[in-house]
Structure 1
């Protein structure tokens, strides 16, 4: 490819990289070595006297060789300048061994460029083609040396072009990173501004938001480093810092914007839990009459485990009210995490109390039902056993022992539970717990059968 074609191919590539170079303008670039020799390379010319004959023809050929060498020198210098920017682009982003090898290879090419450039400058300085007494032999010698210098420059330029073509993957990656740099930094700055605005709005509504203010202040040094730029901290570190600042600032903004809603929600929860505590106090007072009826109508085994429910309910409600008062204080002081944790404790206390208070009423209801008609509970349990037995025999002449044994045991256990109902004061609660345990065992066997057959399929 000649120099004109190479320049034509390079122009689109250079235009494509303009955005990346704009970013690299922030990073100091070394001046190419050739910059200092350009003025000398193109010095000369002026007015000269022309003489006809063979000598003048040799002078013209030498001048043409000098012009061709100068053009080759200029193209090489331009290509080196462009490639130096590409190398700086890569090294600003990429610290991998591949990038380091690229820098070493470029430095080696730079030494070759210096050598052929110095030979070219020496050839130009050795001959004054404007001398009136320039001899034809000297002009011919000048032509030869200048042509050789031009050829050396062209060869190195071709090597430089081939080297540049091999930088494609590294350069594309670096340009992508650089293209992300300015937008990433700007997004981080805008996120910080939005967080600060949201924080001011929360404070104007009467919320201190001290924790958020501390977190936002901690991002100040990071913003300073972003403002110092990639030239000081590197592109990769700056991109990472911008992403971290963006995430934290967006989190602070979201929390600041939600603070008024959080405060309103917490106020509602406090009121709701206080109302629930008061209702549980009323319900707990109704447990004693339920226990009285249980004692009067059923055996002691049916209600002994409920004896402590009234006292426990009262203590739990009192503890919940204390925690509720602490949560109210934490909310007023805007200690949101503390207030949230205390409200969770209150809810757990009230839940356990609710279950205990409900257990007494549920127990009386269950015992009333089974004492009037235990057959319904018996048939319910037998149906579960028979259904499991049919499943165990499906497609088999004999059931699998690991399925048949627990089902047989369940039948015997049900029979014993039924037998326990005989007598003057039957333990209906024991009967109910036994039938429930039988159904749970049968349910596990059914699940095992289905799982085994599913694996076999």
Structure 2
């Protein structure tokens, strides 16, 4: 076949088609402009789709953070709202994918009308994506307080667990320290061993037991381990304190025994010099004192045994019983000597006791009249009764065998009445002044 040479003007006229290849798209004209617009709409829709997908992933992380920590109604509503929003996202995403799949913008034979439809579908898909993206953004903003609370809880999780582990280690080291001093601390060791299951659950993590429960467990383990460590650290001091109390209470029991032996002579003197009413209530003091001291010595031996066996709580309890027994015995033994001393003093000079009591009454009467023309009946009545009671007590001393002890108890009761009235007046005036 011969090569035919064409004129230059003809070659120039054919150039746009022949250089591009037969049947290729045209690069100029209305159709290509529509294709470009459709492609721009497709690119914009793709961007909107990407932004929505990214925002949904971020929101999912926020929801997972909240639900991992918070089981409140608000958190449950947030999770439900996220699910509903997810369904709308799926719908508009499907609409976008359908629009993209329905229009092949790269095919040469697509006409202008098809390009317009493609552009319209893609713009509509983008608008739907943007609309749902706006809903998602508003929903995410509403999660602010819930998310902040959840993140705060999560921020506490790791430090709380670590503090619990360190507290357990500290308690274990403290136990080792007191054992090195010869103290067994078996009860503390048992309490520490009882925390082992809790440590196992802490190690299993929040994924299995929940964030809030794990934090609660960590705080509880921390508290109990700190108690064990503190008690272990104080154990040597506690042992020394118990030893000191054992010695002190033994010495006191011996001293009270010696003093109790002097009660019988005091009772003899009371019986010889005063009426029966003055000493009858003291008759059983020697026997009761001896019995109490014997009980105290038994408890002391039990306390010593508990200390030797390092049963610290039992030792402390027994020592408390010993102290109570000796306190009561000491008071009873002292009462006999005090009774004789007071009876001797009042029988020698009754007027001193009478004047002391009258002074208390007059002092209360002056306060009751301060700033008043007449006293308040609530105060005047008890004071008038106190005056009469004192007069009866003085009159009761007439006779061959006066009951001096009754006289002393009556004057003491009168002074207590006066003191009570004074207190009531001051409280009433303090309230009124306030």
**Equivalent residue number for residue 386 of structure 2:** 410
Deviation of 1:50 after TM superposition, in Å, equals 6.5
Normalised by the size of structure 1, how large is the TM-score? 0.84
Query: How many residues are aligned here?
Result: 409
Deviation of 1:295 after TM superposition, in Å, equals 2.7
**Equivalent residue number for residue 289 of structure 2:** 313
Alignment of 1:130-145 (within 5 A): 130-145=106-121
Match of 1:444 among 415, 420, 426: 420
- What SS does structure 2 have at the residue aligned with 1:129? coil
**Equivalent residue number for residue 28 of structure 2:** 53
Query: Is 1:146 aligned to 2:122, yes or no?
Result: yes
Deviation of 1:234 after TM superposition, in Å, equals 1.4
Query: Is 1:159 aligned to 2:118, yes or no?
Result: no
Gaps of 5+ in 2: 1-23
Could you tell me how far apart the structure 1 residues matched to 2:65 and 2:372 are?
76
Match of 2:238 among 262, 266, 273: 262
Query: Is 1:330 aligned to 2:330, yes or no?
Result: no
**Equivalent residue number for residue 409 of structure 2:** 433
Match of 1:245 among 216, 221, 234: 221
Match of 1:87 among 37, 57, 63: 63
Deviation of 1:204 after TM superposition, in Å, equals 2.3
Deviation of 1:197 after TM superposition, in Å, equals 1.6
**Equivalent residue number for residue 191 of structure 1:** 167
Match of 2:325 among 339, 349, 372: 349
Could you tell me how far apart the structure 1 residues matched to 2:92 and 2:432 are?
81
Deviation of 1:456 after TM superposition, in Å, equals 5.6
Deviation of 1:379 after TM superposition, in Å, equals 0.8
Normalised by the size of structure 2, how large is the TM-score? 0.88
Could you tell me how far apart the structure 2 residues matched to 1:409 and 1:136 are?
121
Deviation of 1:84 after TM superposition, in Å, equals 0.6
- What SS does structure 2 have at the residue aligned with 1:399? coil
Could you tell me how far apart the structure 2 residues matched to 1:103 and 1:300 are?
89
Could you tell me how far apart the structure 1 residues matched to 2:102 and 2:375 are?
111
Gaps of 5+ in 1: 1-48
Could you tell me how far apart the structure 2 residues matched to 1:376 and 1:291 are?
25
What do the CA deviations read for 1:307-334 (whole angstroms, capped 9, x no partner)?
2222211111111000000011111112
Could you tell me how far apart the structure 2 residues matched to 1:89 and 1:146 are?
35
Distance 1:81 1:429, change over 3 A: same
Deviation of 1:190 after TM superposition, in Å, equals 1.5
Query: Is 1:223 aligned to 2:199, yes or no?
Result: yes
Deviation of 1:76 after TM superposition, in Å, equals 0.7
| Higher radius of gyration, 1 or 2 | 2
Could you tell me how far apart the structure 1 residues matched to 2:199 and 2:210 are?
15
**Equivalent residue number for residue 14 of structure 2:** none
Distance 1:402 1:108, change over 3 A: closer
**Equivalent residue number for residue 5 of structure 1:** none
